[in-house]
Structure 1
Amino acid sequence: MPGARLIADRLRSENAIAVLNDVVLNQVVVRFGADETAERGDELTRAAIARIQLDGAVFAGGAKWRGREVMRISVISWLTDEAAGVAAADAIVASWRAVQGAPSPWFCCNVRADHFRLSGALFELRPSNLQEPVLNASAGTRSASSTTTGILHLTDVIHQKRAVQHSKGKRAMLIVNPRARRGGGSIDAARQVLVDAGLEIEEMATSKDENASELISRHADHFDIAIVGGGDGTLNNAAAGLAHTGLTLGVLPLGTANDFARTMGIAPDPVKAAEIIAAGHQTTVDLGEVNGHLFFNVASIGFSAELAGELTEHAKKRWGTLGYGIVAARLLMRSRLFTAYVDHDDTTEEIHTMQVSVGNGRHYGGGMTVEETATADDGWLDFYSLEVDHWWRLLRLLPSLRKGTQGQWDDVRAFKTTEVTIRTKRPRPVNTDGELVTWTPAHFRIRPKSVRVFAPRT
C-alpha cells in the first residue's frame, strides 16, 4: 500500500530508526536505536513501543525479528492516504524523539519522592537494583541508576493511564474459552454481577485466525478491561495482548487447575470471581518470558512438559485435577534423567535432572507450588531442578512439591534469578502454563510489572 511505503520512507529518514523489511504490501518492520548495541536496541525498541501506545495517535505492537525486538506496523485500510501516512509517521517520530533524548518520566525521574503527579495521574516510583541508563529530570543527561534511584517502569505509565480511564467509563470485553473445563457452562450469574456493577460487557470470540492476544490488541482502544474466562492456558494465550495494551485483566476461573487464580487468591467460583472484578481493586503482576513467549505461572522442561503433551482436553474435562495424577503416575514409571546446561548469574552448571521448572507465580500443575514464598509480583524467577535418580524418591518429594519446600532437599537444586538459559543435548519441548510453546535452548527472563489484574484486597 502507498501508505505503508510512505511511513517507511519517513521513518528511514529519522536518526537511529531502521526499517528492516522491503515494504511490498502493508507491513513495516521497525527497530529503534539502530546505532546502538543489540541489547540497548532491544530496550529502546520496547521503550518506543510503550511511548507510542501511550501517546495513542497510532497503535503498533511489538514482535521478534531474528531474535531481536522490533515494532510491526500494519496498514489495514486502502483509505490511508498521504496525509494520514504523514500524520502516522510524524506521531511515531515524535514519540521516538521523546524516548531518545528529551527529559522524560518514561525513563526515570531522579528524585527522592515516593510518588509524583503527571497530567493529574499519580505515579509510584519503585527502587531498582539494576544498573541501567536513565534520564535526569532536571538536566536531561544520562546517568547510572543506583539502588536508591526511583525507576518508573514503562508499563506502569500505560497501566496508570488505563486506570484513569476506568473512572470515566467502564467497558469490558469478555473472552470465554468454550473448550475450558467449565467453559461450556452458563456464566449468566457472573455476567449479571458485572453488569450490576456498572460494567458494559461485550462478548468476543477467538478464531483459528485470531487468538486472544490478537483479539485484545485489535480492540484495545474501545475497552478498559479484558475479562478472560478459562483456565491457565487461556490466560497464557492472552498474556501478550494484555502486556502490550495495558488493559486490566479480570479472571473468571473456568479451567481445570486455575493456578494463576489460586496464586492471586481469586475464588474458583465464577460468581465470586466476578465480585472481585466488580469491587475494582487492582494490583500489578510480573510475567515470565521464554524465547519470546510470555507466561503467568511456570515453564517446565522434562516431566511436566511430557505431562502437558499427554494430558488431553478430554481427560481434563472428565477427571479435572485428578487427571493430572492419573497421567503423571503412568509417565513417572518410564521417566529418565536428562542432561542440561544452566547459564545464570555469570555461571554455567551441568545438571542431570528429571524436570527443570522456572516459576513466575506460586502455583502450577493443579496443586504444585514453585516456592512457598513466591508471589506474582516479587520481581524474581524461581528455578528448581528435580535431580532424583529413582521414581520412588520423587514420591517422597510430593508433599514438599505441594508446599513449595522442595528446595530444602539435597537432590533438588533451587535458586532465584531474573534471567536464565537452559540448553539440552537435543531439543526438548517447553511447557508454559500447560501449553507446549517452544523448544530448548530456552532463554528465560522476568518481565516486571507487566499486567494489571483485579484481585482481592490483602
Structure 2
Amino acid sequence: MDIQKTMPQTRAKKPDASTIPRTAVIITNPTSGSYARFAHDLEEVVTFLQQALWQVELKLTQSPGDGSRLAQEAVEQKADIVIAAGGDGTINEIIQELAGSETALGVLPMGTVNVWAREMEIPLESAGARDVLLHGITRQIDLGRINDRYFLLMVGVGFDGEVSHSVEKTHMKRFGVLGYLFTMLQMSRQFRGFRVSLTLDEQAMSTRALQIVVGNTQLYGGAVTFTSKAKCDDGLLDVCIIHPGSRWRFLLLLRDLFLRQKGKKELVTYKTGKSLEIRSRTPIALQIDGDAAGQTPATIQVVPGALKVIVPLVEPEGIFSRKAELKQEKNVL
C-alpha cells in the first residue's frame, strides 16, 4: 500500500514563475538513517515545487522493491520526473523502471556518499538541489546493464565487490563510509587477486586482477576516478583493470587515483567497449552502483541513450561527449 502525503505549507523562497509546470513523484525511504535529518527539507522542497505550479507527490517505500514499483507506476502515469530522495542505491532501484521511458530522473541527495550528485555537481544541500530540478536541463545519457540489471555509475568486480558483500553481511553499512574503510583495511591484508577471462567487443584476454571497474561515469566512491575518461553519453563503457603488484606500487597508484593524476598508470590496463563478458574459475563478488550484487560470470553491455536526467544548467566538464542543446532541453520557456 502506497503512502502519500500532502505536505504542510512551509516557508520557502518563491521560485521563478517562468518555469514549466511539471508532474513529479518523489520517492524516499523513511527507514533510512538519513530520513529523520532530511524530512523537514523534503517538506520545503515539495512546497517550493508546488509554488512553481508543479504537481508533486511524495511516496514512501515500505519494503524492498517498493522504489522500483513506485517508479513503474509513475512511468505508467506519464509523470515528467521521478525524484530520488536518497543515495545511489535508491537511484539504482528507480532507474530500473525509468530506463527507456520518457520520465526523467531528478535527484535530492540524501545518501551516504551521493556519487551521482557529486559527478553532476548537483548541490548536496536541498535548497541547491531543488533549484536544479526547477532550472536545470534534461540530458539523455547511457546506462550500463549487467545481466538483467541496469547501472548508472559503475560495476566493481573483485576487491570492492568482496568489501561490499562483507559490509552487508556484518551490518557495517550502518557506519557509512567508516564502515567501508574499516572493512577495506581488514580485507586488504588477505585479498590477493583473481584470475579472470575477459571478452571485450569480441576481443578475448586472460589476466590476473585485484579489481575491475566498468564505468559509465568517472567518479568512484566520491573520491577517486578509476574510469577517468568515461563519458556518460558516448555509447561506450570504460574498463579499468587493476593488476596485482608490490604494496609500494599499489600505494603510489592509490595516490595518483585520489589526486586524479592524468596519464598512464602502473598496474593499470584501461580499455573501452560496448560489451564485456567476465568469466572466472571461482565466483568473484560484484557490486553495482556501490551495493553488493551477486558474483561472476557476468555479461555487461552499454545501453545508449537509455535514461533522461535533470542536471545543472552549467554542466560539469568532461563527463558529456557533447554540449546540450539548450533551446530543446532547458527546463524553462
The number of aligned residues is: 291
1:213-271 per-residue CA deviation (whole Å, 9 max, x = no partner) reads 22211232332210111111111111111114321111011111111111111111122
Is it true that 1:194 corresponds to 2:67 in the alignment?
no
Which residue pairs with 2:68 in the alignment?
Answer: 213
* Residues 22-48 of structure 1: CA deviation (Å, up to 9, x unaligned): xxxxxxxxxxxxxxxxxxxxxxxxxxx
Note if 1:274 corresponds to 2:130: yes
3-state SS, counterpart of residue 130 of structure 2: helix
Q: Which amino acid aligns with 1:444?
A: I
Decide whether aligned partners of structure 1 residues 362 and 429 sit closer, same or farther in structure 2, where only a CA change above 3 A counts. same
In 1, Cα distance between the equivalents of 2:32 and 2:129? 16
User: In 1, are the aligned partners of 2:101 and 2:307 still within 8 Å (CA)?
Assistant: no
AA matched with 2:72? S
Instruction: List structure 1 runs of 4+ shifted beyond 6 angstroms.
Output: none
Percentage of matched positions with identical amino acids: 29
Closer, same or farther: CA 321–191 of 1 in aligned 2, 3 Å: farther
Q: How far 1:392 moved relative to its partner?
A: 4.2
* Mean CA deviation greater in 213-222 or 342-351: 213-222
The amino acid of 1:309's aligned partner reads: H
Once residues 118 and 72 of structure 2 are traced to their aligned partners in structure 1, the CA distance between those partners, rounded to angstroms, is: 26
User: Are residues 359 and 172 of structure 1, via their aligned partners in 2, closer, same or farther at CA, if it must alter by over 3 Å?
Assistant: same
Q: Distance in 2 between matches of 1:411 and 1:243?
A: 35
SS in 1 for 2:277: strand
Amino acid at match of 1:385: I
The corresponding residue for 2:328 is: none
Over residues 381-414 of structure 1, what are the superposed CA-to-partner deviations in whole Å (9 max), with x where a residue is unaligned? 1101110234443222112223555871231111
**Residue 152 (structure 2) pairs with residue 296 (structure 1):** yes
Letter aligned with residue 36 of structure 2: G
- TM-score norm. by structure 1 comes to 0.59
Instruction: Choose the corresponding residue for 1:434, options 277, 281, 290.
Output: 290
Whether contact under 8 Å (1:300, 1:355) holds in the other structure is: yes
Measured against aligned partners, the alpha-carbon deviations of 1:27-74 in whole angstroms (never above 9, x if no partner) come to xxxxxxxxxxxxxxxxxxxxxxxxxxxxxxxxxxxxxxxxxxxxxxxx
CA distance 1:416–1:209, change in 2 (3 Å): closer
1:369 aligns with 2:225: yes
SS in structure 2 of the partner of residue 401 of structure 1: helix
Shift of 1:451: 1.1
How far, CA to CA, are the matches of 1:442 and 1:396 in structure 2? 30
Q: Which residue of 2 aligns with 1:457?
A: 313
Greater RCO structure (CA 8 Å; 6+ sep): 2
**Are positions 1:401 and 2:253 aligned together?**
no
Deviation at 1:314, TM superposition (A): 6.1
After superposition, the C-alpha distances for 1:413-434 in whole angstroms (9 at most, x for unaligned) are 1111111111111122221012
Moved more, 447-456 or 177-186: 177-186
The answer as to 2:190 corresponding to 1:338 is: no
Corresponding residue for 1:176? 28
Q: Which residue of 2 aligns with 1:4?
A: none
Distance in 2 of aligned mates of 1:236 and 1:403: 27
1:288-330 residue CA offsets vs partner (Å, 9 max, x unmatched) = 1111210111101111111212235964554x43443222222
The Cα shift of 1:380 comes to 1.7
Equivalent residue, structure 2, for 1:309 = 165
Are the counterparts in 2 of residues 371 and 405 from structure 1 also a CA contact under 8 Å? no
Q: Is the 8 A contact 1:371 1:382 kept in 2?
A: yes
Unaligned runs of 5+ in 2: 1-18, 315-333
- The answer to whether the Cα contact below 8 Å between 1:284 and 1:450 also exists between their aligned partners in 2 is yes
Equivalent residue number for residue 14 of structure 2: none
Aligned equivalent of 1:16: none
2:93 corresponds to 1:241? no
Structure 1, unmatched stretches of 5+, are 1-165
Partner of 2:15: none
Deviation of the 1:173 alpha carbon: 0.8
- Which shows bigger deviation, 186-195 or 252-261? 186-195
| Letter in structure 2 aligned against 1:249 | L
Q: Distance in 2 between matches of 1:272 and 1:339?
A: 45
CA displacement at 1:446 relative to structure 2: 0.7
- Aligned mates of 1:295, 1:390 — CA distance in 2: 32
Alignment of 1:19-168 (within 5 A): none
> Is this contact kept in 2: 1:298–1:360, CA < 8 A?
yes
Counterpart for residue 11 of structure 1: none
Match of 1:324 in 2: 180
Partner Cα separation in structure 2 for residue 179 and residue 330 of structure 1: 29
Contact 2:160/2:287 (8 A) holds in 1: yes
Which amino acid counterpart does residue 93 of structure 2 have in structure 1? N
Determine the structure 2 residue equivalent to 1:104.
none
Which string of whole-angstrom CA distances, capped at 9 and with x for unpartnered residues, describes residues 349-378 of structure 1?
Answer: 111111111000111223121333323223
Q: Secondary structure at the match of 1:370?
A: coil
